[in-house]
Amino acid sequence: MAQNRRDFLKTSGLLAGAALAGIPNSIYSKPNINFTKVGKMKLTFKPYDLTLKHAFTIATSTRTTTPVMLTEIEYEGVVGYGEASMPPYLGESQASAAEFLGKVNLEQFPDPFDMENILDYVDKIAEKNPAAKASVDIALHDLVGKLMNQPWFKIWGYDKYRSPYTSFTIGIDTPEVVRQKVREADIYKILKVKLGRDNDKQMIETIREITDKPICVDANQGWTDRVKALDMAYWLKEKGITFIEQAMPKENIDGNAWLTENSPLPTFGDESVQRLPDVIKAHKVYSGINIKLMKSTGMREAHKMLTLARGLGMKVMLGCMTETSCAISAASHLSPMVDFADLDGAVLISNDCFIGTTIEDGKISLTDRPGIGAIKK
Ligand code: MG
């Protein structure tokens, strides 16, 4: 099988394409390779702690670091990179990721292109662990894209120039810090403001004193009364807000559906939309969904969620955790097809160990490098 893949790459000219692109052939074929020993994928992983530039406060928690797990899948000398980002309030940790990844045996699959079977196997190893699963999914996508010498936006047939501006997230804070963050966000064309505590109006008024940029808000389930939530939606509409994300607790399906039906602003489900079946459940409860790789178990299911939501006529936004440019780059390949993107996770940290998709004047800028397009610093 491995030899067939190599023959395919040679006959299809992809190896020649790699040479033209300035990528050494050695990453695709080793000289004097022993075919009896190739054709096995090897997964490795190591923990890494992200340092946040600012303490980050949302309706339910505050933190200054984010634990991640960096993964690699090596196959015939080609290495795919992946990442699990695990903010503590979501229930995963470096320990749980290590335990999960220790159970993943990719050596039983001779062909990395057998992605549906491989990722189905990974998904069934244990329940939950969505970020750990995403770290395998992303590394596999990176590997397969590199074997094809193509970036994923091209494999999916997307136009990278359609990628939207990303919002820049402003956490709940004092007026003084909020003003400072808004000034730092100068290059960003849209702001995402965290609400859901007791100073919502103060947060918005502080920002509106400084800028008239479009703002979207994320209450992170912090509003519990539907009538007050609707009053707030009308007030926010007057303040030029674009949409409201996860206004009320995810369990309050009737309340969220009622708000969506009556709200002058579109609503998005985030905490309530984790994986593919949740898209159907979110239909008519929210105007749109927020897809994140760390919820969806990675790029493959995120792509299916995007397609399904579009088919249902829903809006789609693409979000992230605080992540390195590895996972941000992976998500960015879906960005040409979304209405809104919130992919500022790597710019919120001070120790990004990857170079990948960047933000240029507030706009998501994908590279043409193969796979997810992320390289190690
Ligand atoms: Mg959110």
Question: Cα(245) to centroid of ligand 1, in Å?
Answer: 6
- DSSP string across 194-240: E--SS-HHHHHHHHHHH----EEEE-TT----HHHHHHHHHHHHHTT
Question: Cα(70) to centroid of ligand 1, in Å?
Answer: 23
Residue range 16-38: mean pLDDT, rounded: 45
The structural domains of the chain, with segments of one domain joined by +, span: 2-153, 160-376
Q: In residues, how long is the chain? A: 377
- Which H/E stretch holds residue 352? none
In this predicted structure, the answer to whether residue 72 has a pLDDT above a threshold of 70 is yes
* C-beta of residue 207 within 8 angstroms of C-beta of residue 184: no
Question: Cα(126) to centroid of ligand 1, in Å?
Answer: 25
Question: Cα(140) to centroid of ligand 1, in Å?
Answer: 27
In this predicted structure, the answer to whether residue 85 has a pLDDT above a threshold of 90 is yes
* C-beta of residue 142 within 8 angstroms of C-beta of residue 329: no
pLDDT at 171: 86
Question: Cα(271) to centroid of ligand 1, in Å?
Answer: 7
pLDDT in tens, 273-282: 999 999 999 9
Question: Cα(9) to centroid of ligand 1, in Å?
Answer: 42
* C-beta of residue 139 within 8 angstroms of C-beta of residue 147: no
Q: Which residues, at least 6 apart from 38, have a Cβ–Cβ distance to it below 8 Å?
A: 2, 76
Q: Which of 7-11, 50-54, 241-245, 263-267 has the lowest mean pLDDT?
A: 7-11
* C-beta of residue 283 within 8 angstroms of C-beta of residue 310: no
d(CA 111, CA 118): 9
Q: Record the tokens describing residue 252, joined without a space.
A: 């309050």
Band of the pLDDT at 38, cuts 50, 70, 90? low
In the DSSP assignment, the letter for residue 286 is B
What sign does the CA torsion over 244, 249, 253, 258 have? negative
Class level of CATH domain 160-376: alpha beta
d(CA 305, CA 346): 23
Q: What is the mean pLDDT of the chain?
A: 91
What sign does the CA torsion over 28, 152, 350, 197 have? negative
- Which contacts of 153-158 are long-range, i.e. CB under 8 A and separated by 24 or more positions? 153/332, 153/333, 153/336, 153/366, 154/368, 156/303, 156/333, 156/334, 158/333, 158/334, 158/336, 158/337
Band of the pLDDT at 288, cuts 50, 70, 90? very high
Q: Which residues, at least 6 apart from 63, have a Cβ–Cβ distance to it below 8 Å?
A: 52, 55, 56, 87, 88
* C-beta of residue 106 within 8 angstroms of C-beta of residue 42: yes
Question: Cα(269) to centroid of ligand 1, in Å?
Answer: 8
What sign does the CA torsion over 12, 13, 15, 20 have? negative
Q: Which of 14-23, 147-156, 220-229 has the lowest mean pLDDT?
A: 14-23
pLDDT at 236: 97
What are the beta bridge partners of residue 191?
168, 215
Question: Cα(101) to centroid of ligand 1, in Å?
Answer: 27
Question: Cα(180) to centroid of ligand 1, in Å?
Answer: 22
Compute CA 327 distance to the chain's CA centroid, rounded to the nearest angstrom: 6
pLDDT in tens, 187-216: 999 999 999 988 999 999 999 999 999 999
pLDDT in tens, 241-254: 999 999 999 999 99
Question: Cα(35) to centroid of ligand 1, in Å?
Answer: 48
* C-beta of residue 354 within 8 angstroms of C-beta of residue 372: no
Q: Which of 321, 343, 323, 350 is nearest to 51 (CA)?
A: 350
Q: Which is the CATH superfamily of the domain at 2-153?
A: Enolase-like, N-terminal domain (3.30.390.10)
d(CA 287, CA 314): 6
One-letter amino acid for residue 208 of the chain: R
